[in-house]
Amino acid sequence: MTSLKNLNWKRSGRVLLWGATGFLAFNLGRVVFPGLGRVNAQSASPVAYTVMRTEDWYDTTGKLIKQGNAHYVEAVKSDGSSMWRGSAEKTEQRKLAFANGDYVLTNEHLGRKSTYPKRNPGPLASRNPQNSCSAVEPSNEIPAGEEIISGHRAIRMVSARGKETITSWYALDAGCAELQFRYQYATGVSEQTLSALIMGEPDAGLFQVPATFQEVPPSRVSDACADPGSTCAPTMPGPVAARLDQNYNNVRSRAQGH
């Protein structure tokens, strides 16, 4: 969720959507791993909201390459549960972190899910407007001033490494909802701009996982080529798949008391 989007460069990008739209993969990578700890002293009471963003791509000269290539929805409930949804072309995924500690990844098109029972040992940590929406985990991001984004006060946070720079704008009066996002890399720029910010409890449907979804390890959530017996080559690197699946199995085994 927005509050969980402290960037971890080593884990960034392309970890769960290899072979799908690259930057959707990058965004899912941003929210899958960080921020899954307990609330710390910087955390604030959850503010319920839904934020929507649309993504455009540009080359190094500023020429528009793709418009509305992907859409993102993030929602936070007053009990602290959070949801991230990314959709691009034929890909749509969600990440759900529930107040009871459960954590779920889904692929809406393949009808698959990876469930981590009691993955989060307590209320989720969240960015706090009283602390300028700073990251809740160690990060190289630095505050770079305030701006007004579509009428909302926002703090700009910047993280840079090598030829890549991440800039995020968090709403100071709306629970640190991420209003805008910019990713500058060696060959271009991707920008997510605010489509809507809705205060109050989100649509309950955003947090519902169909009972018909197949439970699979995370390496198979978004890659049918990783299925047993598949004739196509898996698109996720083997070591990444093994690491994700091992963590998934460990969490599920621990929840079952093994």
pTM: 0.81
Contact of 251 with 116, CB cutoff 8 Å = yes
In 3D, which of 105, 87, 95 has the Cα closest to residue 24? 87
CA–CA separation, 232 and 205 (whole Å): 34
Determine the pLDDT at residue 229.
Answer: 85
144-166 mean pLDDT: 94
- pLDDT tens digits, residue range 19-64? 334 445 555 555 443 333 333 334 567 899 999 999 999 998 999 9
Taking CA atoms, 239 is separated from 43, 234, 235, 242, in Å, by 34, 12, 12, 5
Q: What is the pLDDT of residue 138?
A: 75
Q: What is the mean pLDDT of residues 130-142?
A: 86
The confidence score (pLDDT) of residue 207 equals 97
Residue 101 tokens read as 């500690």
pLDDT at position 206, please?
A: 97
pLDDT at residue number 111? 95
Spatial separation of the C-alpha atoms in residues 183 and 96, rounded to whole Å: 24
192 vs 17, more confident: 192
State the CATH number of the domain containing residue 193.
Answer: 2.50.20.10
pLDDT band at 9, cuts 50/70/90?
Answer: very low
Q: Supply the pLDDT for residue 139.
A: 81
Residue 151 is predicted with a pLDDT of 95
197 lies in which domain range?
2-255
For the chain, how many structural domains are there in total?
Answer: 1
Average pLDDT over residues 142-146: 94
In 14-90 the beta strands, taken as DSSP E runs, fall at 49-58, 64-76, 82-88
Q: Phi, psi (5° rounding) for residue 157?
A: -115, 135
